């Protein structure tokens, strides 16, 4: 028969084991209660409304999945107000220091507090998040997100995406490593990327760079094509302008030759008719005067007049013939517009046709 002392200790152990077995599922099933502190903007580049919106987004994302329970925003604000009144410290209103955040979390009966801050390093914005266990006063989880600070357009959208990534990482329990905190305690800090992740990043970067180079090559080809097209259009415009100038010169030459040619022909005709008149009518009139003369002086005068009229007629007829011949040459040599011409290395096709310059000029041009 066992001793009473040993029997009592056995029953106590069995009872403790039963209590642990019964309470363990309940403790595991209860989500940890977290007080989400306001985002601390150390860059001083965001408006209070944006800071509050990012904090609310972090609260909402962290509460998803049921791993963490987030204390109500209005309840947290009321507790902070009471804490400011009790401690009589106006500096607690911002509540970014541990001296304010830890007492506030304890007053809310939270298991942990989540504090986040936004800083800038170089050309990047860094979002840092730490989940602090109030019982241990140690960081039990941490995460960070890096987003480009430039350009300013779309910066708030990028920060909102970074906040969602932070909450997703904290909520998903990303594996971490143990590190030493500033206060000497131990806590979980964010692990570095694995070799597989680094290789995937490298491959993604190579693919991104390849696509970028392809886009640049297509852009350069398109620019070259457009430059070549503009060059062809410019050359065609210049050639058309030269052709038009040459055509106008051809038309001007034709009109000038036809005009002077017909003037010469008409003038030659007038001179020729006048010469014929002198050689016929004038000479005949002088002959009549000679036949009617009774004195030797009158007969001699009539004979001299006949000779003069004959010489004048011959001269006028010769001048008329020369003028008419020159005019005929000008009319015949006038360029025709109903045929091809090459002027200055340019080929001119038929343009306005032979009627350009008037009917008379046109008919003259067809001689």
The number of beta carbons lying within 10 Å of the beta carbon of residue 273 is 13
Q: Mapped to the 3 state alphabet, what secondary structure does 114-152 carry?
A: EEEEEEEECCEEEEEEEEEECCCCEEEEEEEEEEECCCC
The answer to whether position 218 is within a domain reads: no
Q: Which helix (H) or strand (E) holds 177?
A: strand 176-180
Q: What is the pTM of this model?
A: 0.41
CB-hemisphere CA count at 13 Å for 25?
3
Same domain, yes or no: 186 and 254: no
Structural domain including 87 reads 27-192
- Find the angle CA(120)-CA(121)-CA(126) to the nearest 5 degrees: 55
Task: Report if residue 228 sits inside a domain.
Answer: no
What was the pLDDT predicted at 242? 84
Residue found by looking up tokens 């009518």 in the block: 281
Are 52 and 38 a contacting pair, CB within 8 Å? yes
- Domain with residue 158: its CATH number is 3.40.50.10070
Residues 151, 249: one domain? no
Q: Tell whether 204 is covered by a domain.
A: no
**Residue 37, in any domain of the structure:** yes
Examine the domain organization and report whether 53 and 118 are in the same domain: yes
Asked if 246 and 361 sit in the same domain, the reply is yes
Contacts of 73 (CB under 8 A, 6+ apart): 56, 59
Q: Is residue 3 part of a domain?
A: no
What are residue 127's phi and psi, to 5 degrees?
-105, 120
279 and 188 assigned to the same domain: no
- Co-location of 158 and 258 in the same domain: no
Q: What is the pLDDT along the chain (367 residues), one digit of tens a residue?
A: 445 555 666 655 666 666 555 554 444 456 888 989 888 889 888 898 999 999 999 888 888 877 888 988 888 888 888 877 777 665 555 677 777 888 888 888 888 999 899 999 888 899 999 889 888 888 888 888 888 888 888 888 889 888 888 888 887 754 333 333 333 333 333 445 666 777 888 899 999 999 999 999 999 999 999 999 999 999 999 988 888 888 888 888 888 989 999 999 999 999 989 988 888 888 888 788 777 777 788 778 878 888 888 888 899 889 989 998 998 988 888 877 666 656 556 565 655 444 444 434 444 444 3
Annotate 228-237 with b (16+ C-beta within 10 A) or e (fewer).
eeeeeeeeee
State whether 162 and 75 are in the same domain: yes
Q: Which of 155, 175, 192 is the last residue in one of the domains?
A: 192
Residue 230 lies in a domain: no
269 assigned to some structural domain: yes
User: Number of structural domains, the chain?
Assistant: 2
Please tell me whether residues 49 and 172 are part of one structural domain. yes
Any idea how long the chain is? 367
Residue 161 and residue 47 in one domain: yes
Q: State whether 266 and 355 are in the same domain.
A: yes
210 in a structural domain: no
Please work out, in degrees rounded to the nearest 5, the angle formed at the alpha carbon of residue 233 by the alpha carbons of 230 and 238.
125
Q: Are 250 and 343 in contact (CB under 8 A)?
A: yes
**Do residues 155 and 46 both lie within one domain?**
yes
Q: Are residues 152 and 264 in the same domain?
A: no
């Amino acid at each position: 028969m066992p001793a009473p002392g040993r029997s009592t200790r056995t029953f106590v152990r069995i009872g403790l084991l039963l209590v642990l077995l019964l309470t363990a599922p309940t403790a595991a099933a209860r989500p940890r209660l977290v007080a989400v502190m306001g985002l601390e903007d150390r860059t001083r580049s965001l408006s209070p409304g944006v800071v509050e919106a990012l904090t609310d987004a972090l609260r909402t994302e962290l509460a998803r999945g049921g791993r963490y329970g987030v204390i109500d925003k209005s309840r947290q604000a009321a507790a902070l107000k009471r804490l400011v009144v009790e401690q009589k410290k106006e500096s607690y209103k911002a509540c970014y220091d541990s001296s304010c955040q830890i007492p506030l979390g304890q007053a809310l009966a939270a298991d942990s507090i989540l504090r986040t801050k936004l800083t800038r390093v170089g050309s990047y914005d860094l979002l840092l998040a730490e989940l602090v266990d109030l019982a241990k006063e140690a960081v039990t989880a941490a995460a960070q997100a890096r987003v480009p600070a430039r350009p300013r357009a779309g910066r708030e959208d990028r920060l909102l995406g970074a906040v969602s990534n932070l909450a997703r990482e904290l909520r998903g329990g990303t594996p971490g490593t143990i590190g030493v905190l500033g206060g000497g305690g131990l806590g979980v800090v964010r692990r570095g990327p694995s070799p597989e992740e680094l290789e995937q990043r490298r491959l993604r970067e190579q693919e991104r760079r390849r696509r970028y180079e392809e886009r640049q090559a297509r852009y350069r080809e398109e620019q070259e094509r457009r430059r070549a097209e503009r060059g062809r259009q410019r050359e065609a415009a210049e050639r058309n302008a030269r052709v038009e100038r040459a055509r106008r010169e051809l038309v001007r030459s034709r009109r000038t030759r036809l005009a002077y040619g017909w003037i010469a022909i008409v003038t030659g005709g007038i001179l020729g008719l006048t010469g014929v008149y002198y050689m016929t009518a004038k000479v005949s009139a002088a002959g009549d005067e000679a036949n009617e003369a009774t004195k030797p002086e009158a007969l001699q005068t009539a004979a001299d007049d006949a000779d003069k009229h004959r010489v004048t007629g011959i001269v006028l007829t010769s001048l008329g013939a020369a003028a008419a011949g020159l005019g005929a040459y000008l009319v015949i040599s006038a360029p025709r517009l109903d045929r091809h011409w090459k002027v200055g290395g340019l080929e001119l096709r038929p343009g306005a046709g032979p009627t350009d310059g008037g009917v008379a000029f046109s008919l003259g041009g067809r001689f």
